C-alpha cells in the first residue's frame, strides 16, 4: 500500500520539496463575511515516481472555494550579500514554492519522495451567513498508472477544516496601493502587438488580478514609462496618447487613454498615476515619445534629448494643458497623480528636478506630484512635494507634516524591514499590516507587478525560470504574478500581501469601535514589542494569533 501524509497548515508557511513542514497543523480559521482567506494542505508520498491523484471537495460553501497547486520556481538570487539579515528562510540558491497554478482536481498526480502543497482559498463575498462551515478535501490515489482501471490498490484520505464566518464586514480599503504595471512586458511575453485586441484582453486580466489583491492605483503609460531602461536604449512603445506633429505644432488623440480609463474603472481601479514625465534617477533626459509626422511614426524624444531642452518645454506647454482638459472632462482629475523622476539625489539631479517640476506645476497646478525619494532634504527644501520614501529611509519623513504618508520597498530593502522576496518567510510580508496601521499610512508603492525583462530591460525573460531579472534583483522582487493562460496567475506572495491589506482593514474596523490607540496597544501587547518599520515579531504564530485576537474582539462587539 502507498504511504502518504496530508497536513493542513497556514498560508504563512512555505513548503519546500525536501523538508517536512515543522509548523503546527491547523484545523480551523476565521474570517469576516467579505474576506478572502487561504490555507494549505502539505502532502508527501514515500515511494518514488508519480501516481494518479484525484481530489474531491465537499463543503456547504463549496462554490466559494478554489484549490491550486503551489509550484516551485528557481531562486538563483535569494539575497544580496550587501543587503541581508538573519530573517530569511533560504541562504543558498535552490527551488522554492511561489506560483499558484490551477489544477484539474479529477486528474492530477501524486509525486513521490518530495513535499508539495495545495493552496485552498475561501473567497467570501458577503453572502455567506454567520456560522461554522466544514471543508472536507479527500485524496484518492492508486499505485496503478492507469487510474481508470480496477487493478492496483487505492487509498483515500480526507482532511477537514472548519471556517468560522463572523457576522461583520471589512470596511472599504482606504490605503492607496500601486505596483507598477508594465504593459510592454505583457505584449512581449504573449507575443502580441501592442494595444491589439489580444493585448487589451491580457491587460484587463492582469488588472483584474491586481485589483483582487488590493491594488487600486495603476501606472498609466500616457507615454512609454522611462523606468529601468538602459541609457541610450528603449523599451517597446506603449503610448496611450497619440501625438501628431505638423508645422511645428502638436495635436493629441486621447481615445486609447479613454479606453484605458474606462477599462480600469470597470475592473475596480480608483486612482491613476501618470508615467514619469522625465527619465529615472534624476530627470536628466526626456522619456521616449513617438509622434506621427507626415504620415510616418517617428521617435521625437528620448535619451538623446535633455530634459530642459527648449523642444521638450514647448511640447509640454502644449501637451499638459490638453491632458488637463481631458482629465477634467473625464471627471477623474481628482484621482490622478503625476511623477517627475524616480529617486532624485545629488546636486545635478536637484537642479534638473527643480526645472522639470516648474514646467509641470505651471500647467498642472492643481495635481499631486509624487516621487520615490530617500533624501529628506529634497522635501525640506520644497523640491519634492509628496515624497514616497523607502521603508528603510522612512524615519525622518515620519517627523514631517506630509500631505499624504506614502512609502515603498524594492530590492534595496532586504535588511531589517518587511519585504516579499521569495527567500523571505511569509510573516515578513504580512507584518506590514500593523506597521501601516500604526503610522496611518495613506499609500504604498512597489515597482514590480509584472516586470518580465532582465535588468535595464535588455531582454525578455521567462519568470518561471528566471526570478531575479537575470541576476540583478533578489528573486521575486521584479514581479508578483506569473503569466498563465489568458492572464495572470497569483504568487503566494501577492496573496499574503493582500491578506495584510485585509488585516489592516480589520484593524480599522476594530478601531472604529474601540479607538486606534487601543488597537495598537492590543497588537503590541501580543507582539511583546513596539512595532516599528525596522522592528517586528519574527513569527508566523504571532501573525495568526494577532489576527485571531482582532477577530475575537470584532465578534464580541458585533454581537
The CA R_g of the chain, rounded to the nearest whole Å, is: 25
Instruction: Kindly compute the dihedral angle of the four CA atoms of residues 510, 530, 82, 345, in this order, to the nearest 10 degrees.
Output: 70
For the question of whether the overall pTM of this predicted structure is more than 0.95, the answer is: yes
Residues 6+ apart with CB under 8 A from 123: 36, 64, 65, 66
pLDDT for res 1: 55
pLDDT for res 167: 96
pLDDT for res 46: 87
Note whether 378 and 331 are within 8 A (CB): no
Q: Report d(CA 481, CA 490) in Å as an integer.
A: 5
Helix axes 310-330, 255-267, angle to 10 degrees: 50
Note whether 484 and 202 are within 8 A (CB): no
Residue ranges in 191-309 assigned as alpha helix (H): 197-212, 255-267
Query: Which helix or strand (DSSP H or E) is residue 362 part of?
Result: helix 347-363
Note whether 436 and 548 are within 8 A (CB): no
Grid coordinates of 197: 485586441
Note whether 214 and 177 are within 8 A (CB): yes
pLDDT for res 485: 96
Grid coordinates of 446: 512597489
Question: Residue 48 phi/psi, 5° resolution?
Answer: -75, 170
Residues recorded for the chain: 559
Residue with cell string 475596480: 268
DSSP lists the bridge partners of residue 368 as 337
List the one residue out of 111, 84, 104 whose CA is nearest residue 15: 111
DSSP structure string for 518-543: HHHHHHHHHHTS--BTTB----HHHH
Q: Report d(CA 227, CA 456) in Å as an integer.
A: 8
pLDDT averaged over consecutive 10-residue blocks of the chain (559 residues)?
A: 87 97 96 98 90 95 98 98 95 97 94 95 96 97 59 78 98 98 98 98 98 98 97 97 94 98 98 98 95 96 97 97 98 98 92 96 97 95 97 96 97 97 98 98 98 98 98 98 97 98 98 97 98 98 98 92
pLDDT for res 149: 47
pLDDT for res 546: 97
Amino acid at each position: 500500500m502507498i504511504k502518504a501524509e496530508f497536513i493542513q497548515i497556514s498560508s504563512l508557511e512555505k513548503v519546500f520539496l525536501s523538508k517536512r513542514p515543522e509548523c503546527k497543523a491547523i484545523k480551523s480559521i476565521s474570517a469576516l463575511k467579505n474576506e478572502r482567506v487561504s490555507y494549505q494542505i502539505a502532502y508527501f508520498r514515500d515511494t518514488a515516481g508519480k501516481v494518479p491523484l484525484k481530489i474531491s471537495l465537499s463543503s456547504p460553501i463549496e462554490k466559494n472555494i478554489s484549490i491550486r497547486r503551489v509550484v516551485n520556481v528557481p531562486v538563483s538570487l535569494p539575497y544580496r550579500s550587501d543587503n541581508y539579515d538573519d530573517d530569511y528562510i533560504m541562504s543558498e540558491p535552490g527551488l522554492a514554492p511561489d506560483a499558484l497554478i490551477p489544477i484539474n482536481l479529477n486528474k492530477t498526480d501524486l509525486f513521490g519522495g518530495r513535499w508539495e502543497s495545495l493552496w485552498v482559498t475561501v473567497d467570501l463575498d458577503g453572502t455567506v451567513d454567520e456560522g461554522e462551515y466544514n471543508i472536507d478535501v479527500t485524496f484518492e490515489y492508486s499505485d496503478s498508472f492507469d487510474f481508470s482501471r480496477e487493478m492496483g490498490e487505492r487509498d483515500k484520505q480526507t482532511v477537514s477544516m472548519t471556517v468560522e464566518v463572523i457576522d461583520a464586514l471589512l470596511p472599504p480599503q482606504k490605503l492607496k496601493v500601486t505596483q507598477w504595471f508594465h504593459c510592454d512586458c505583457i505584449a512581449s511575453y504573449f507575443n502580441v502587438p501592442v494595444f491589439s485586441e489580444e493585448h487589451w484582453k491580457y491587460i484587463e486580466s492582469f488588472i483584474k488580478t491586481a485589483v483582487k489583491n488590493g491594488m487600486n492605483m495603476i501606472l498609466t503609460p500616457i507615454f512609454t514609462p522611462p523606468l529601468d531602461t538602459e541609457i541610450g536604449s528603449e523599451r517597446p512603445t506603449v503610448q496611450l496618447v497619440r501625438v501628431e506633429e505638423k508645422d511645428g505644432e502638436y495635436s493629441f488623440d486621447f481615445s486609447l487613454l479613454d479606453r484605458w480609463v474606462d477599462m480600469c474603472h470597470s475592473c475596480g481601479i480608483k486612482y491613476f498615476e501618470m508615467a514619469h514625465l522625465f527619465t529615472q534617477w534624476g530627470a536628466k533626459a526626456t522619456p521616449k515619445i513617438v509622434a506621427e509626422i507626415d504620415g510616418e511614426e517617428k521617435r521625437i524624444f528620448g535619451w538623446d534629448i535633455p530634459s530642459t531642452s527648449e523642444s521638450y518645454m514647448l511640447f509640454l506647454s502644449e501637451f499638459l494643458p490638453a491632458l488637463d482638459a481631458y482629465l477634467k472632462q473625464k471627471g477623474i482629475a481628482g484621482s490622478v497623480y503625476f511623477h517627475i523622476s524616480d529617486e532624485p539625489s545629488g546636486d545635478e539631479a536637484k537642479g534638473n528636478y527643480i526645472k522639470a517640476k516648474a514646467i509641470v506645476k505651471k500647467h498642472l497646478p492643481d495635481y499631486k506630484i509624487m516621487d520615490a525619494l530617500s533624501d529628506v532634504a529634497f522635501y525640506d527644501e520644497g523640491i519634492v512635494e509628496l515624497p514616497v520614501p523607502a521603508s528603510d529611509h522612512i524615519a525622518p519623513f515620519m517627523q514631517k507634516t506630509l500631505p499624504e504618508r506614502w512609502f515603498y520597498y524594492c530590492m534595496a530593502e532586504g535588511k531589517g524591514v518587511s519585504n516579499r522576496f521569495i527567500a523571505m518567510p511569509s510573516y515578513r510580508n504580512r507584518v506590514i499590516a500593523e506597521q501601516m496601521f500604526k503610522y496611518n499610512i495613506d499609500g504604498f508603492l512597489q515597482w514590480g507587478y509584472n516586470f518580465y525583462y532582465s535588468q535595464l530591460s535588455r531582454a525578455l525573460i521567462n519568470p518561471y525560470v528566471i526570478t531575479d531579472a537575470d541576476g540583478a534583483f533578489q528573486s521575486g522582487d521584479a514581479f508578483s504574478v506569473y503569466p498563465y493562460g489568458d492572464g495572470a496567475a497569483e504568487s503566494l506572495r501577492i496573496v499574503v500581501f493582500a491578506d495584510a491589506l485585509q488585516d489592516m482593514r480589520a484593524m480599522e474596523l476594530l478601531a472604529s469601535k474601540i479607538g486606534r490607540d487601543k488597537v495598537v496597544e492590543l497588537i503590541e501587547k501580543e507582539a511583546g514589542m513596539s512595532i516599528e518599520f525596522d522592528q517586528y515579531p519574527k513569527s508566523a504564530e504571532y501573525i495568526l494569533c494577532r489576527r485571531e485576537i482582532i477577530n475575537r474582539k470584532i465578534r464580541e462587539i458585533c454581537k
